[in-house]
Structure 1
Amino acid sequence: MSSQRDDHPTGESTVDSRKRAPAALRRAAAATAASAVVATSGFLGGGVAAAADPVVIGTCTEDVTSTEYGQPIVVSPRALDSRVKDAAGLTFPLDFERIDRIHQQFLRTAPINIGEVTTEEQHFSGSALADALANRIAGLPAVEDRGDTMNFHVGNLAVTCLGGVNVPGQAKPEPTEPSTTPEKPSTTPPAESPDPGSSGDEQRNPDTPGSGSGGDPTTEPTDDQPRRQAGGPDSNYSPGSAEQVAPSEYAYVPGSLPPWSDSRFGETAGGQPATGDLRTGDGHNQQDRVREAGSAQALPTGSGERVALPVLLAAVSLAGVTAALIRTWVLRRA
């Protein structure tokens, strides 16, 4: 009996250990899956944070700010929060439970993208925001088939959003231009390739007597004769490359220049300059003017010293009038 009692607990412990093994495996698998989910969410969160934050319109009466060009603009359901609730009250009067459900479902919807930041300021009125959220309002489960009525009331109530929302513009970044600086060519001269017909000994020491075709060792190679003529004392020109030789002066050789080289600008080749002719003409014109002034003649005068008859009559009349005035004045004084 004692042996049977001892065996029974041993069997129960074995069964319990077998039951606990799958549970431990399941817990380990669950922990691994949770770690993977956390790591994935961390990567996704980092990617979202790296992207540009959108401009969120959370009200229909206050302006918002932007930070950069091309920033997305989204409208939040809270921009028309009270208007949607009032529209639900007009669509479903006295159904307070439905009104509350419509309000809560609308607030849980995601924001809607309505554009992006440009270089100019953008204005969004209350009606424009209502049109942007119309599909979300009509698609709420609690609205059912009354979506058109809801949007009608929301559009009318959105008119009360006085002033609307203004989104300021931002400067557009200039594109980076590629560098247009040309690369400097290499100034290192290319290595000269050896003559394929010559041997290695000839290239290393071309002046060694006896190399080549086996000629007289006392005879110098023929390749040195041009060098001796170019740089030796018997040469007729100085050693150096052809680029260093100064060009000959042909300006003093008769017939070396074309006939029009001595002509001035605007003159015919071989013709005489017109400067002397102009000066001579001016001199002739001056002499003609002096000659004309010297040969001037006075115009003939009239009869000479006689006084004209009208002048004489005027003088006599003036004297008579003056005498009469003096006489009258004297008589009045007397």
Structure 2
Amino acid sequence: MAAQALARLPALGVLPGGMVFEPKYDGYRLLVFVHGGEVFLQSRNLRDLTGAFPEIAEAAAALGEDVVLDGEVVIHTGGRLNFSALQHRLNRRPATAARLAVEQPAHFIAFDLLEHQGTNMMTWPYAERRAVLESFFQGHGLHSPWQLTPATTDRDLAEQWLTEWGGLGVEGVVAKGSEQPYLAGQRRWFKIRARDTAEAIVGAVTGPVSSPNTLLLGRYTRAGRLRLVARTTPLPLALRNEIGPLLTPAGPSHPWWSMRLTVTWGNRELLAFTCVKPELVVEFLADTAIDSGRWRHPVRTQRPRTDLGPADITPSD
């Protein structure tokens, strides 16, 4: 079951049976299957991740009973969730995955129970599945690498998670209906991302420089290198016309002149862009999914900041 994005917490009564809120984590969605002592860890796109997270697979085998759990696998480093560390687990040899499991152990944050001891619970209301999930954790005395996600009906607490937990790697909040069954493949939950404003330097654009379609944003490192930190969503017409006259095309001396980018992550089609002189600062709105100083998802341009210069922007490292 998946979620559709909303800009803010939904109104009460939108979901059946009242609203329940859970944190949305910066990790990999994972289904844990345990049947007859065999364990299978599956990603949301049906990929086998059993070998990537041997500590989770070992803990699942130790449960000693058939179960299907839905949740998120995460890695904590430096007091926050580390998505890059998760990516380093993929396509590794068993010995390497085992070493990483010791150096940076993963945790599984459970938020749903889909099957237990041969009983398919997907048609059960969320509230009943949640009650059995809590009993399951208590009955087994589960601890690391297992975690049970917090859940609340308190809208004010959910707002607090949105505003205060972003720096810890919590991307936002998921809203669920307490009477909802588990509808696999359907976007019947809601997700609300925590967002913050930030500034960066326009280093390149797609489309014409005079009226750009999107912006490629950078920040200088402490060593003086202009580093790509974000791409924007398409600009509305008013912003295109406002930003275009403030940009100047750049030549081969631009640090990104020979840089190669793909249109989207996982796509081989190269992105066509034009370098501009890194002089204009813009303010943007972004979620809290940041990997080593780079925003993972496209950001939304708010306005040009002609009152700021590149030297006013915090270095990227």
TM-score bucket (shorter structure): under 0.3
| The structure with more strand, counted as a fraction of residues | 2
Give the TM-score normalised by the residue count of structure 1. 0.17
For normalisation by structure 2, the TM-score amounts to: 0.18
Between Structure 1 and Structure 2, whose CA radius of gyration is higher?
A: 1
